[in-house]
Structure 1
Amino acid sequence: MAKSGKGPKGKKITFNVAKNCIKITFDGRKRLDLSKMGITTFPKCILRLSDIDELDLSRNLIKKIPDSIAKFQNLRWLDLHSNYIDKLPESIGQMTSLLYLNVSNNRLTSSGLPVELNQLKNIRTVNLGLNHLDSVPTTLGALKELHEVGLHDNLLSNIPHSIAKLPKLKKLNTKRNPFPQPQASEAFIDSIKRLDNLYLVEAKDLCASCLKKCQQAREKLNKIKNMVMGTPRKAIFSSLVSPNSTAKEHQDDWR
């Protein structure tokens, strides 16, 4: 039997143990759930279960993901959050069936994200939050099917425009990053204002001058709104005090 990391009380993660951890999801997918088992190394024995649809190795002590993970060609859902991973393998780009990838709460740096991520053409959700990223690879902008991107709690000073312009992006979480300005430039704001759920900087984080500008803009908007709401409808055609002479003479006909 192939052996790998240890689980609770020194239990070995063998092929049989892994096989018994397979669950069927509500939509009929096969999920291998090895979360919270104290695994310290990627269990190579699970490569024999390469036909699974979902793999959960979250909340363990794993430091390295091997290139062999690409054998999971049918994998649609991969959860590696809350481990000690500092680098993703280049082979992850071969897992083109992936729709969901969660590697949050690890030790990933910008150099630990391979360029090959741009090959995940079908992926819809990527969570890179709670890591040590000081920049985001612009190659993520090639993932046109992305709906959600998590970049919160990192060391980012800016967000690439290529990500903000993703055509199907609905949610972008950039909270708790050391942005030098309230949130990049006006051009950046314009490119992402269409998002349904965008996390921007809070008022308490704005400098005095920027906060004043925001307040003035809001006051101006409210003033315009009040003017529109308070203007009588008949004033729109104030110049038309009475029907002209021709219309008055023939009003019985056109009525």
Structure 2
Amino acid sequence: MRLPCEVDVRSCHLPTLGLASRGKGVRAVVSLCQPPGGNELQPGARTEPGGRVCLLVSTMKDRQGARYKANPGNLKTFLSAVRLAHKGCDINTPLSTLTPVKTSEFEKYKTKMVITSKKDYPLSKNFPYSLEHLQASYCSLARVDMRMLCLKNLTKLDLSHNSIKKLPATIGDLTHLQELNLNDNQLETFSVPLCESTLQKSLQSLDLSKNKIKALPVQFCRFQELTNLNLNDNELRHLPFKIGQLTNLRFLSAARNKLRNLPCEFKMLSLEYLDLFGNTFEKPEVLPIIKLQVPLTLLESCGQAMLSYRIPYGRDIIPYHLCQDLDTAKTCVCGRFCLQSFIQGMTTMNLHSVAHTVVSVDNVGRTEAPVISYFCSLTCFVKSSDTLN
């Protein structure tokens, strides 16, 4: 059992003698060891009082190591095995032997690895567990390597320029991941379970450009820490209509897609940069699409009440299909919620009201506002019925 770390050995008697330690931490390997033959030690070694195990600190200069009594009072964070050894209990964890430490074990933790060709991709060995930044580009990966999902310290994962077709929901187990680059792959969907993972609280930058994504689920808008989103060169026909929930989003690029309109909540964004070049936005329709039920169904009324009063709900409380209805509820221009009963219409807006910098919207260089799709509730319809008629 060995633990590579920085070690600073200090004598507890120095303060009583009025002396201060001038030592400096060095790279070392700390081992919990058992001498050969149980209590028998090697010739010339000092016997540890009452000890079946000892703590061995090995450095590059002293690979044989210096032995210390395993004292759990001073080694609370080492391992539970130390406590068992101090109490004289049986230790189920395998113990290291008193052998010299390999030179490779003194190497510092590797936090960054960049792989840019298939021939350099590791096949026979694991990735270093200490990695914080991993780039594996141009490696012809058809799927995400499951070994990457064990790198719990990852903050940046770059899998660009591969052939990945599907993302496993277990990427959400990378709780510290802040940047995810999936540029130039073969993705067609973005899964709902991934949107509901712990990445909601960590992911800040997401690059999905140059894929084949046709739609993003409404749950995608739960990435509320997202500040940078690149959706260029996909096949998107619309953006999630709850996109206004991405309150921290500052850079949005969705150029060269198939967007026909923008959702009403788009006006709630506060962007620094917006690029919608190369999309075929439609002109506003003269007549709105009306799907009203009078009076409202009980389900519609209950759903509106739950959302308005922010009543918690989940699959363990109400049926799954009702959760879906509530998750995909539309927001009326007056602020109320619509489920199955609504009026859908089109209008235009000035994109400069949501973004400081607006790149051209159409192929002729104009930055005029595209079509905005909005929803009205029954209440709004009743109040404006004279106008609509």
Higher strand share: 2
Same fold (TM over 0.5): yes
Find the counterpart in structure 2 of residue 135 from structure 1: 215
More helix by share: 1
Task: Tell me the CA shift for residue 207 of structure 1.
Answer: 6.2
**Post-superposition shift, 1:164?**
3.7
The CA deviation at 1:30 is 2.0
Distance 1:190 1:115, change over 3 A: same
* CA positional deviation for 1:150: 1.0
Task: Measure, in 2, the Cα distance between the counterparts of 1:43 and 1:170.
Answer: 36
Confirm or deny: 8 A CA contact 1:69 1:91 kept in the other structure: no
Q: Which one has the largest radius of gyration? A: 2
Q: Which runs of 5+ in 1 are unaligned?
A: 1-18, 218-255
String of CA shifts for 1:150-174, please: whole Å, max 9, x gaps. Answer: 1111111111133343111001111
Structure 2 CA distance, aligned partners of 1:44 and 1:134? 33
Q: Is the 8 A contact 2:142 2:165 kept in 1?
A: yes
Q: Give the alignment partner of residue 155 of structure 2, picking from 76, 87, 104.
A: 76
* Within-5 A mapping of 1:80-119: 80-110=159-189, 113=191, 115-118=193-196, 119=198
Match in the other structure for 2:271: 195
Tell me the secondary structure at the aligned position of residue 196 of structure 1.
strand
1:232 counterpart residue number: none
Partners in 1 of 2:170 and 2:146 — Cα distance? 5
**2: CA distance, partners of 1:195 / 1:160:** 16
Measured in 1, the distance between the counterparts of 2:119 and 2:219 equals 31
TM-score by length of 1: 0.62
Deviation at 1:90, TM superposition (A): 1.9
Q: What amino acid does structure 1 have at the position aligned with 2:253?
A: N
What's the CA shift for 1:63? 0.9
**Is this contact kept in 1: 2:131–2:153, CA < 8 A?**
yes
Who is 2:112 aligned against? Answer: 31
Unaligned 5+ residue runs, structure 2? 1-103, 286-346, 351-389
Which of 168, 187, 194 lines up with 2:248 in the alignment? 168
Deviations along 1:121-141, whole A, 9 cap, x unmatched? Answer: 211001111101011122221
The alignment partner of 1:116 has SS state of helix
Q: Which residue of 1 aligns with 2:67?
A: none
Aligned residue pairs, count: 182
After TM superposition, which residue ranges in structure 1, 4 or more long, deviate above 2 angstroms? 42-48, 66-69, 116-119, 137-140, 161-165, 204-210
Which residues of 2 match residues 150-165 of structure 1 at below 5 A?
150-165=230-245
Question: How does the TM-score come out when normalised to structure 2?
Answer: 0.42
Name the amino acid aligned to 1:197: Y
Measure how far apart 1:58 and its partner are: 1.2
Whether contact under 8 Å (2:244, 2:267) holds in the other structure is: no
Residues 73 and 44 from structure 1, CA distance in 2 versus in 1: closer, same or farther, beyond 3 angstroms?
farther
Compared CA separation, residues 61 and 124, structure 1 to 2 (3 A): same
Tell me, in whole angstroms, the C-alpha distance in 2 between the residues paired with 1:155 and 1:57: 25
* Aligned amino acid, residue 172 of structure 2: G
